[in-house]
Structure 1
């Protein structure tokens, strides 16, 4: 072919390789971490996120912020996945995990500038992460599942710095009771704790219902509002006359035939209702429709009926009352009935709902959260979800760590000692990992308006002296024993954060070529063109190849 160039990619394709690709991806990851860093800790600030339609979310929950920012940059999305994994696995520590991932990339960037190969960094980071998890196992504090005080402290710690903080003592007790209630031999599924949000009243007026609240009303005005010591029937079918499976035509030649047809339909419906009554049901929840005539017969018999109940509601009712969901009335017998001390239609936040409560050993419960505004209630719900996650994890693992940055300082000291035993350039990566872990206590101090250097020096000094539980009190600026103060969190919060952050950082560092289809030139772009998302800083450290300003691959400005 002589000196003719070989065209492999289309004219619209773009490629960034080598140091430029690494720099671009590292900058994207660091930008994500910086976006949530100021929300960390009890004195962290909130973010207001406004979408193109004017919807507003006010929160300091890391994973919520990153979801709402609608990030598109592929490398940045790897950091977002760190938060999502942390949320799914533990429920809390999302901001910490993202901040650590960003700091690992920042430390790596400095080593890359010193010509340390990315593969060497990756190997060193992985060695450091494994050693860190071993140290966390050594310093973990065992907790008994019956220790209500510690579980309440864990729940309370998870709410600190969030919208629920002003009522965290009340809410923490509710969370512990709720999570314990739904625990069974199969484990703990917090999906069985239904959260009902009510705008109005103080957050401290929130309550735990040992049972289920169904967002429906009774279907007929003549039905009773209340049933005591109620037997509950659960049907996922309909209380209607079945239609034929094929198209059918009925020819009526005189009015008597029509009346006979209607009478027969009415008789079928009455028989269905009599079947429900004969098994002793006082309340029936139906997954589909209820014929008007069936409603009439049910009202005559004094049976409360609810139609079009969601599958999730029927499942919760079954777990709560001990009943079984059946497909039709013909399959219903006494053994399928559940029991509730009280079933009533009540007003809650201006809406009529059915309360199924006073259930012994309810395996599905409802948390009623109150707040002055919709934004407040939404943020309380996010805090409650985080809190339930950490209580669940603690009950499953039985191990906790002191908070306030204490584990990170202990890990940093242990990893610096470990680095001496690591040969080659990986030693530098292990030391960088140790420095990166200190970003959390440093950020706690910064967000509390304290001198981060003084705080770190004091923390290191106390840990050098053997005080493994020494952490930073963000309110006073003192270094105190976090275990004694009751500021603790599950061990899995830290181990999962380290695992996820390390894997994401390593994956980003190992990318040395970005090949993109289409025209990706351009700089800062808002994701929704509404001008309300966060723009990325220009430049971005020499991105090259039309990827400047992190606008490449959809742009980080276009990413957020």
Structure 2
């Protein structure tokens, strides 16, 4: 557990709050950049997960200190908003708090530090615009470079190029509308087996469809099939209240069974008369009906997931009906083909060539369930980054080039500040340099020498120089190391927001639910719930 609170008198020195956030930053600092290392996350039940994704690591950590939870919330907000930059944000939080602690030791008041940080952040964000560059179009080659940067460090160079291009081709297939793109990951294969399919992949393991019913040779593949969809259970209707039937003799029993069989035969005939060759049911299909449909050449799929059911309806042009009796030829849709295939050990249906809504599926593979899921997460991050850059249209040189440039800009601005805020500006600039220092450290090079060289080249006019993939200074534009401007801007804003909130805290008061007072005269005070540690402040 990270950052447990003490239970002596409920108090905490100001630097205790800084330590809790600093521990979290230190925990994921080594994962930053293309040379970042992985973390092995071990769950209480023995589950082992290996990843270098900052947001995932923080999500899985058992964070008990309330200040650590503030940082956790900021990281989650960063990941939710832009899908990347979580590690950068947390590293900046740790660096800013470290500088704040040093400033406190020098005698600066927290409000002075907060005011200085806010002013320095505003100045940095103003300066950030001069380092931004714009995409020319959605076919800009730099879009590929941005996608590669997002997945660099996760695989070897060949796999990095392959997955970046695979992701972009999938996005282009759906005209960058991510709502029409589906990710599916399956173990039991190699990374190079991952493909982009034109259409929808339905996972039969998430339904209870009998694999035996699908093994009929006449229904393995359909070309231009008619797709029927029923949004209700298919079978003999069950009464909604308790009923009993008394059978007097064997004749009545046979008549009763014959009635059931006739009703099931009617259901099968109704489906066949609709010319449907594939039937998707959102709920259960009676086993006898399912078997009879398969024998008549109709592919039955029951308990289709609701999200997949709705996607299939839109993509094929099918009109779901609430009862088989209402099903007609006009309700059916179609696709180019439906093929049953086994992916790893999972039975799937691949529906390709959807006429009503262009769909694409990234079918991702990995040797183990964990690897397959990690591939899916990395590709999802790549999609998010691509979406962000297309929405904003601007990018920055990566490798810590921009934080270094901003740190130098802040240092120049601080010279014109006549009061003690100048010291805060200098601390803010030093905190920004934590990004290139960390990248150099993770690459195994001397961070001081690397940062000094980068600053010298910036002074000479090469403001796009940062820490290259090999840890040495390099022009990031020429190296193709690019990132969306929104990612860094958001990381900086969230880091400053949470740091100013933490610096304002001077004590942590532990309150239990039974000790709370209700006072009408203080109804404007902060409410504490469930014994959760909270900061008192007006």
Within-5 A mapping of 1:390-405: 390-405=385-400
For the aligned residue pairs, the C-alpha RMSD in angstroms reads 2.6
2:354 to 350, 359, 381: 359
More divergent stretch after superposition (74-83 vs 210-219): 210-219
CA contact (8 A) 1:16 1:515 kept: yes
Partner of 2:529: none
Q: Deviations over 1:232-254 (max 9, x none)?
A: 22333211222222222223223
Q: TM-score, normalised by structure 2?
A: 0.86
Match of 2:148 in 1: 156
Q: What does 1:440-479 correspond to in 2, within 5 Å?
A: 440-475=435-470, 477=472, 479=473
Alignment partner, residue 171 of structure 1: 163
Give the drift of 1:339. Answer: 2.7
Residues 469 and 303 (structure 1 numbering): CA distance in 2 closer, same or farther, change over 3 Å? same
Q: Distance in 2 between matches of 1:275 and 1:465?
A: 79
Instruction: Note closer, same or farther for the CA distance 1:335–1:97 as it changes in structure 2 (3 Å cut).
Output: farther
Measured in 1, the distance between the counterparts of 2:415 and 2:326 equals 71
Contact 2:183 2:364 in 1 (8 A): no
The 1:28/1:149 distance shift into structure 2, 3 A limit, reads: same
User: How far apart are residue 470 of structure 1 and its match?
Assistant: 1.6
1:75 to 2:67 alignment: yes
Q: Which moved more, 1:31-40 or 1:388-397?
A: 388-397
Question: Is 1:514 aligned to 2:514, yes or no?
Answer: no
Q: Distance in 2 between matches of 1:299 and 1:133?
A: 64
8 Å contact kept, 2:147–2:386: yes
Instruction: Describe the superposition over 1:417-441 as per-residue Cα deviations: whole angstroms up to 9, x where unpaired.
Output: 3334556433332332221111111
Q: Compare 443-452 and 136-145 and name the one that shifted more.
A: 136-145
Q: Which moved more, 1:317-326 or 1:119-128?
A: 317-326
Q: What CA distance in whole angstroms lies between the structure 2 residues aligned with 1:300 and 1:137?
A: 66
2:495 alignment partner in structure 1: 501
User: How many angstroms does 1:391 deviate by?
Assistant: 0.9
Contact 1:162 1:380 in 2 (8 A): no
State the secondary structure of the residue aligned to 2:192. helix
Cα distance in 2, alignment partners of residues 85 and 229 from structure 1: 45
Task: Report matched runs for 1:253-292 at 5 Å.
Answer: 253-292=248-287
Alignment equivalent of 1:413, drawn from 403, 408, 416 = 408
Answer yes or no: is the 8 Å Cα contact 2:154–2:160 preserved in 1: no
Q: Could you say which residue in structure 2 is the equivalent of 1:198?
A: 187
CA distance in 2, matches of 1:130, 1:397: 20
Relative contact order, CA 8 A, sep 6+: which one is greater?
A: 1
User: Quick check: 353-362 or 131-140, which moved more?
Assistant: 353-362
2:310 corresponds to which of 305, 311, 315:
315
1:211-236 alpha-carbon deviations (Å, 9 max, x no partner): 22222176414361111112222333
For residues 421 and 281 of structure 2, the distance between their equivalents in structure 1, rounded to whole angstroms, comes to 64
1:490 is aligned to 484
In 2: Cα distance, 1:475 partner to 1:38 partner: 15
Q: 1:91 aligns with which of 83, 95, 104?
A: 83
Alpha-carbon distance in 1 for matches of 2:297, 2:441: 64
Aligned mates of 1:73, 1:341 — CA distance in 2: 56
Cα deviation, residue 444, structure 1: 0.6
Structure 1 position 329 matched with structure 2 position 317: no
> Per the alignment, in what secondary structure is the counterpart of residue 40 of structure 2?
strand
| Contact kept? 2:166, 2:196, Cα under 8 Å | yes
Poorly superposed stretches of 4+, deviation over 6 Å = none
| Cα distance in 2 between the residues matched to 1:392 and 1:64 | 20
The answer to whether 1:212 aligns with 2:200 is yes
2-structure distance, mates of 1:92, 1:154 = 12
Alignment of 1:5-154 (within 5 A): 14-16=9-11, 20=13, 22-147=14-139, 149-154=141-146
Matched residue SS, 1:208: strand
In 2, Cα distance between equivalents of 1:423 and 1:105: 24
Distance 2:387 2:134 in 1: 15
Q: Are the equivalent residues in 1 in contact too, given 2:187–2:368 (CA < 8 A)?
A: no
Contact 1:48–1:56 (CA under 8 A) maintained in structure 2: yes
Structure 1 residue 334: Cα displacement? 5.0
1:40-84 Cα shifts (integer Å, max 9, x gaps): 111111111222322111111111112222212111111122221
Q: Deviations over 1:464-505 (max 9, x none)?
A: 23323222213161x222122221111111011111111111
Question: Contact 1:128 / 1:415 at 8 angstroms: preserved in 2?
Answer: yes
Query: 2: CA distance between counterparts of 1:172 and 1:364?
Result: 19
- Structure 2 CA distance for aligned equivalents of residues 232 and 342 of structure 1: 10
The answer to whether the 8 Å contact 2:188/2:345 transfers is no
- The alignment's TM-score, normalised by the length of structure 1, stands at 0.83
8 Å CA contact 1:227–1:344 kept in 2: the answer is yes
Per the alignment, in what secondary structure is the counterpart of residue 487 of structure 2?
A: helix
> What is the match of residue 364 of structure 2?
369
Q: Distance in 2 between matches of 1:129 and 1:98?
A: 16
Separation in 2, partners of 1:374, 1:295: 31
Q: CA deviation at 1:332?
A: 4.3
- Determine if contact 1:108/1:121 at 8 Å carries over to the other structure: yes
Pairwise CA distance, 1:514: 0.6
**Bigger shift: residues 362-371 or 284-293:** 362-371
Of residues 229-238 and 92-101 in structure 1, the stretch that sits farther from structure 2 once superposed is 229-238
Task: Count how many residue pairs are aligned between Structure 1 and Structure 2.
Answer: 502
